[in-house]
Structure 1
Amino acid sequence: MEDVQSTPAEVPIDIDRVGVKNLRLPLVVRDRAREHQHTVAEVDLGADLPASSKGTHMSRLVEALSAWKETLDYQTLKSLLIDVRSRLAAQRAYVVFRFPYFMEKHAPSTKIPGLMSYECRLTGEIGPESERPSFLLEVDVPVMTVCPCSLAICNQTAAHSQRAIVTIACRFHGFVWLEDLVEIAEDAASAPVYSLLKREDEKVVTEQAFANPAFVEDVVRAAAHTLESHPQIRWFRVEVHSQESIHDHDAYASIEKVVRP
């Protein structure tokens, strides 16, 4: 049977990335409180393609993922990338896992537990003849912010508040807990958000937020300051996206920095 993919391309241009997107599979990730947790991931897989080939062999990517273990850690992700590179005879291979990560949070007054879901992404890439892949870890953390300007002009009696999303992306040495990144984001904001609050809890959260008003600039600086001191992080990007409650626009701020080589 003719291998059409291996025939010459009509337009001989190298392709940086070609592959498959949105494959779904069960996933096991490390959990600081319970050692491991089970979740579900959407996965993108791909590789580069030289100008001499018309197409890649998409089925080999699906085969590589089907043969892969469901536990996400350094060694298993490294083996997946090497397998993809080998199956496609490529120079470079990449994979992206997108998954919800769940953390149990207790309401601040009643201590009632509730599950919070945080959207996470882990990207892995490996280059030609390299045995050391690079990884990018990202997490979106919802928080609450109170506008300092609004609070000041209302004589400390009222202010507009809103939900904001703190997105932290980092490259690191060793291992970084997702819980660390969530806590950094929440500590930088006016207050965290919760999945379950009774009235006495709402009072505590609201009072905390109004006692700690913060612009997006304040939140992004506070998060960046803490990320700089994290011993495993060597590069980070943090962005705060505020879903404004009284404006017909959103507000954002972003900081990106190399911490250590």
Structure 2
Amino acid sequence: MIPVCDVQNRKNETGFSLTKVGVTGVRKLVHVKRPDEHCNEPLVCMIDVFVDLPAEQKGSHMSRNLEVIRAVVSECTEEPTTGIEDLATMIGKMLLEKHEYAKFSNVNIVAEYFKDNVTPHGKNTTEVYRLFGKAKCERDGGITKTIGVEAVGMTACPCAQENVAQTLNCSKEWPVITHNQRNVCTVYMSMDNSCMVEADDLIDLINSSFSSPTFEVLKRDDEAAVVINAHRNPKFVEDMVRDVLKKIVDEYTELPDDVEVVVKSESEESIHKHNAFAERTATLGELRN
């Protein structure tokens, strides 16, 4: 039998280490079961995994990444994972076992998630959101996991509303017309592996911060209610970020100060050809101060 040459283990001559080497876009069906009946359903996940590569090594063993993903996801078929951020942590730790030359691993997972909701007039509906789970695992045992969600809602511009009210000399009995935006809001929370945050709670927190949540199907009474509610609650993209930050500080009093929070809000403008964007990155301790 001709011996197989391990090209990856050959010496690299250029002298540069690499921070991330791996595979992207691996699709897997993952079984998730959260406490208290949160998210007890399979999720179609897109998984990216990486390890660092030392300067002296020519290549990373890519097939090990797929073997790790398959092994961990297979375990979740027998016993569902508690969340995609926990799945990312499990994959990240096993990557370091398989890649003995790596100092750390990074895992990113994205999934579509369907959550039950209720329209303003009480009709049941199911809306789609995006979930994010990330993990950075270090050889010395350090683990940082990230849970994130993305929700789409509606904002109404307070500046245009004020201009219209002054132009038309409107009374304040009813909300004045203004232009609207489809707003995409994303929240990430990065924390120690021992902490836990429910994606459902983050979704509810974001939905409560829009001028109005939006819905896949609206009959006439609900359609009117969404528009009226949004115009009674106009917001800039900056207001969205600040309102979400305030609610996170108020809601997660038990989490430690070193939890990192990222809130992004992007409004797809209706009267402009550009979008409006706002973002804040800070630790909970900084926000509390």
For the superposition of Structure 1 and Structure 2, which TM-score range results when normalised by the shorter chain? over 0.9
2:25 is equivalent to residue 22 of structure 1: yes
Amino acid in structure 2 at the alignment position of 1:94? N
Rounded to whole Å, the distance in 1 between the matches of 2:178 and 2:208 is 20
Residue 112 of structure 1 corresponds to 123
Residue 123 of structure 1 corresponds to 134
**What are the residue-to-residue correspondences of 1:110-189 with 2, within 5 Å?**
111-130=122-141, 132-155=142-165, 156-172=175-191, 174-189=195-210
Amino acid in structure 2 at the alignment position of 1:217? E
Rounded to whole Å, the distance in 1 between the matches of 2:269 and 2:46 is 30
Amino acid in structure 2 at the alignment position of 1:85? L
State TM-score, norm by structure 2. 0.84
Of 91, 103, 124 in structure 1, the residue corresponding to residue 103 of structure 2 is 91
Q: Is the 8 A contact 2:89 2:107 kept in 1?
A: no
Amino acid in structure 1 at the alignment position of 2:108? V
Rounded to whole Å, the distance in 2 between the matches of 1:76 and 1:158 is 46
Rounded to whole Å, the distance in 1 between the matches of 2:228 and 2:176 is 12
Spell out structure 1 runs of 4+ moving beyond 6 A.
Answer: none
The structural deviation recorded for 1:80 is 2.3
Cα-to-partner distance string for 1:95-146 (whole Å, 9 max, x where unaligned): 111101110112221x33222111121111111221x411112211101001
Amino acid in structure 2 at the alignment position of 1:190? S
Q: CA RMSD of the aligned region, Å?
A: 1.8
The structural deviation recorded for 1:75 is 5.9
Amino acid in structure 2 at the alignment position of 1:124? A
Cα-to-partner distance string for 1:160-202 (whole Å, 9 max, x where unaligned): 0121111111123521111111112111110111122111011
The structural deviation recorded for 1:76 is 5.0
Comparing 167-176 with 42-51, greater Cα deviation is found at: 167-176
Q: Runs of 5+ in structure 1 lacking a partner?
A: none
Higher helix proportion (structure 1 or 2) = 2
State TM-score, norm by structure 1. 0.93
Amino acid in structure 2 at the alignment position of 1:15? L
2:220 is equivalent to residue 199 of structure 1: yes
Cα-to-partner distance string for 1:46-75 (whole Å, 9 max, x where unaligned): 111111110010001101111112333376
Residue 38 of structure 1 corresponds to 42
Cα-to-partner distance string for 1:15-56 (whole Å, 9 max, x where unaligned): 111000001100123455455121100101111111111001
Rounded to whole Å, the distance in 2 between the matches of 1:239 and 1:77 is 22
Rounded to whole Å, the distance in 2 between the matches of 1:93 and 1:3 is 22
The structural deviation recorded for 1:93 is 1.2
Rounded to whole Å, the distance in 2 between the matches of 1:215 and 1:152 is 13
Q: Secondary structure at the match of 2:40?
A: strand
Change (3 A) 1:35 1:85: same
Q: Secondary structure at the match of 1:219?
A: helix
The structural deviation recorded for 1:245 is 0.3
Q: Is the 8 A contact 2:176 2:231 kept in 1?
A: no
The structural deviation recorded for 1:82 is 1.9
Residue 12 of structure 2 corresponds to 9
Rounded to whole Å, the distance in 1 between the matches of 2:87 and 2:178 is 49
Q: Is the 8 A contact 1:101 1:118 kept in 2?
A: yes
Q: Is the 8 A contact 1:228 1:259 kept in 2?
A: yes
Q: Is the 8 A contact 1:107 1:196 kept in 2?
A: no
Of 66, 69, 72 in structure 1, the residue corresponding to residue 81 of structure 2 is 72
2:277 is equivalent to residue 256 of structure 1: no
> What fraction of aligned residue pairs are identical, expressed as a percent?
26
Comparing 140-149 with 68-77, greater Cα deviation is found at: 68-77
Residue 264 of structure 2 corresponds to 239
Q: Runs of 5+ in structure 2 lacking a partner?
A: 166-174
